C-alpha cells in the first residue's frame, strides 16, 4: 500500500517494537520532510537508536509501516534492500569502525564495496571528507584503534557523508567531543542540509540540537509526545519537554533508579 500524496522523505506510522516483554516503541508516528533536519530527543534507553535501526532494516518492527520516498520498506530484501540502503549515510552511536582497515578505507568502504568505485578515487574522496571533520592525511593512514574516541567519532561522521547520501542519520554526533569540535561538527551538519540532504539526528546536546534542527521531536514511552519547530522548544507548554531541556531531576519523567 503506497503512502497517499505524501511529500515526506521518511515517515513512520504506528511503529511498534518490543524485546521480550519490554515495549520500546509503542505506535510511533514521525514524519521527516524532504530536506528537513529533524532532531529527536529523549531519555537514555527510550528507543531512539532502536527507531533508527528499524528504518535501516537492522531491526524489524513488530507492527507499523515505514515509508521512504513513499515506498514501504520494512520488508525489503536482496537487491531492493541494497538499493534502499544506498540512500543513507549513517553515523552509529559507537563509531563502529573496522580496526583491520586504515581510517581512510573505513571512510571509503561504502564507495568501494557499495558503489564499486575505484580505490584511487575513493581514497581521494575519503581524504577530502576527513579534512571536513578536521582530520589530516596522516590520520587517514592510521588504524582506528590508534585514535581517541572523539577522533573515531569524526571518522564515523566522514564515513556517513562520504557518498553524499540523500538521507543522513546521526546518532549522537557530538557526544564525547570538546565544545569547539562539537561546533565544527554542527556546522558540517548544517552544511549538508544546504545541499538538500534530509537529516535525522539524535542528541542529548541541546546546544547542538538548537543549531542543527529545523524541528525537534521528543520520544517518551514509545511515542513522540511533542514535535515542533526548534524555536518553539522553549515554550512547548509540555512539562516533559520542559523537564528534559532544563535537565531537572524532578518532574513528570520518573527515572528508573533503584535506591
Ligand atoms: N537488540 C536488542 N535486544 C534487546 N533489547 C534491546 C536491543 N536493542 C535495544 N534494546 C533495548 O531497547 C531499549 C532502547 O534502546 P536504545 O538503544 O534505542 O535507547 P536510546 O534511546 O538510543 O538510549 P541512549 O540515549 O542511551 O543511546 C533499551 O532498553 C535497550 O536495552
Ligand atoms: Mg542510543
Q: Give the CA distances from residue 112 to residues 18, 122, 180, in Å, rounded to whole numbers and listed in that order.
A: 36, 7, 32
Q: Which residue has the CA at smallest separation from atom 2 of ligand 1?
A: 19
pLDDT of residue 227: 96
- Minimal CA–CA distance to 160: which of 218, 85, 213, 215? 85
Q: Where are the alpha helices (DSSP H) in the chain?
A: 48-55, 78-85, 103-109, 119-132, 137-140, 149-161, 179-194, 206-212, 239-246
Q: Which of 99-103, 184-188, 255-259 has the lowest mean pLDDT?
A: 255-259
Residue 91: CB atoms within 10 A of its CB come to 25
Average pLDDT for 189-215: 91
Taking 80 as the threshold, does the pLDDT of residue 257 lie above it? no
pLDDT of residue 251: 85
pLDDT of residue 177: 85
Average pLDDT for 100-126: 94
Are 107 and 29 members of one domain? Answer: no
Report residue 141 as a C-alpha cell: 593512514
Q: What is the 76 CA–ligand 2 centroid distance (Å)?
A: 24
Are 139 and 202 members of one domain? Answer: no
- Residue with more model confidence, 94 or 43: 43
Q: Give the CA distances from residue 182 to residues 2, 187, 206, in Å, rounded to whole numbers and listed in that order.
A: 39, 9, 12
Ligand 1 residue neighbourhood (C-beta within 6 Å): 19, 24, 42, 44-50, 93
Q: Which residue has the CA at smallest separation from atom 27 of ligand 1?
A: 44
pLDDT of residue 256: 67
- Residue with more model confidence, 253 or 121: 121
Are 149 and 208 members of one domain? Answer: no
Q: What is the 93 CA–ligand 1 centroid distance (Å)?
A: 11
- Minimal CA–CA distance to 58: which of 28, 14, 90? 90
CATH (domain of 8): 3.40.50.300
pLDDT of residue 41: 95
Measured CA to CA, the distance from residue 123 to residue 120 in angstroms comes to: 5
pLDDT of residue 3: 46
Give the phi and the psi of residue 13 in degrees, each rounded to 5: -130, 115
Average pLDDT for 37-53: 94
Angle between helices 119-132 and 149-161 (to 10 degrees): 120
Taking 70 as the threshold, does the pLDDT of residue 111 lie above it? yes
Per residue in 161-185, is it b (16+ CB within 10 Å) or e — as a string? bbbebbbbbbbbbbbebeeebbeeb
Please tell me the number of the ligand nearest to residue 244's CA.
Answer: 1
Q: Which of 133, 164, 195 is the last residue of a domain?
A: 164
Q: Which of 144, 164, 184 is the last residue of a domain?
A: 164
| Ligand 1 atom with least separation from CA of 52 | 18
Average pLDDT for 111-126: 93
Report residue 259 as a C-alpha cell: 535506591
46 falls within a domain: yes
DSSP collapsed to 3 states, 86-116: CCEEEECCCCCCCCCCCHHHHHHHHHHHHCC
pLDDT of residue 192: 83
Per-residue confidence band for 98, with pLDDT thresholds at 50, 70 and 90:
very high
Domain extent, residue 158, equals 98-164
Q: What is the 81 CA–ligand 2 centroid distance (Å)?
A: 23
183 falls within a domain: yes
The number of domains in the chain is 2
pLDDT of residue 150: 84
Taking 50 as the threshold, does the pLDDT of residue 69 lie above it? yes
Measured CA to CA, the distance from residue 148 to residue 151 in angstroms comes to: 5
DSSP 25: E
Per-residue confidence band for 258, with pLDDT thresholds at 50, 70 and 90:
low
Pocket probe for ligand 1: among 26, 50, 96, the residue whose CB has the most ligand atoms within 8 Å is 50
Pocket probe for ligand 1: among 49, 54, 206, the residue whose CB has the most ligand atoms within 8 Å is 49
Q: Which of 164, 194, 217 is the last residue of a domain?
A: 164
Are 49 and 136 members of one domain? Answer: no
Phi-psi region of 257 (alpha: psi -120 to 50; beta: other; left: phi over 0): beta
Amino acid at each position: 500500500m503506497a503512502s497517499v500524496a505524501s511529500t515526506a522523505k521518511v515517515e513512520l506510522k504506528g511503529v511498534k517494537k518490543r524485546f521480550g516483554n519490554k515495549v520500546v516503541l509503542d505506535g510511533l508516528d514521525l514524519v521527516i520532510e524532504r530536506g528537513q533536519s529533524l532532531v529527536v530527543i529523549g531519555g537514555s534507553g527510550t528507543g531512539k537508536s532502536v527507531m533508527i535501526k528499524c528504518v535501516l532494516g537492522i531491526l524489524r518492527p513488530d507492527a507499523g509501516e515505514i515509508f521512504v520516498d513513499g515506498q514501504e520498506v520494512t520488508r525489503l530484501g536482496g537487491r531492493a534492500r541494497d538499493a534502499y540502503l544506498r540512500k543513507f549515510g549513517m553515523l552509529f552511536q559507537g563509531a563502529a569502525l573496522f580496526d583491520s582497515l586504515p581510517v581512510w578505507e573505513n571512510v571509503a568502504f561504502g564507495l568501494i564495496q557499495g558503489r564499486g568505485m575505484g580505490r584511487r578515487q575513493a581514497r581521494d574522496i575519503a581524504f577530502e571528507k576527513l579534512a571536513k571533520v578536521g582530520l589530516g592525511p596522516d590520520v587517514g593512514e592510521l588504524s582506528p584503534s590508534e585514535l581517541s574516541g572523539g577522533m573515531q567519532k569524526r571518522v564515523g561522521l566522514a564515513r556517513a557523508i562520504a557518498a553524499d547520501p540523500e538521507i543522513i542519520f546521526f546518532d549522537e554526533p557530538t557526544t564525547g567531543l570538546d565544545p569547539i569540535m562539537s561546533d565544527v561538527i554542527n556546522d558540517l551538519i548544517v552544511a549538508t542540509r544546504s545541499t538538500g540532504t534530509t537529516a535525522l539526528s539524535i542528541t542529548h546536546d541541546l546546544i547542538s540540537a538548537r543549531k542543527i534542527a529545523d524541528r525537534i521531536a521528543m520520544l517518551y514511552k514509545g511515542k513522540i509526545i511533542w514535535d515542533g519547530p526548534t524555536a518553539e522548544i522553549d515554550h512547548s507548554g509540555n512539562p516533559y519537554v520542559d523537564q528534559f531541556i532544563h535537565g531537572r531531576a524532578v518532574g513528570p519523567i520518573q527515572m528508573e533508579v533503584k535506591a
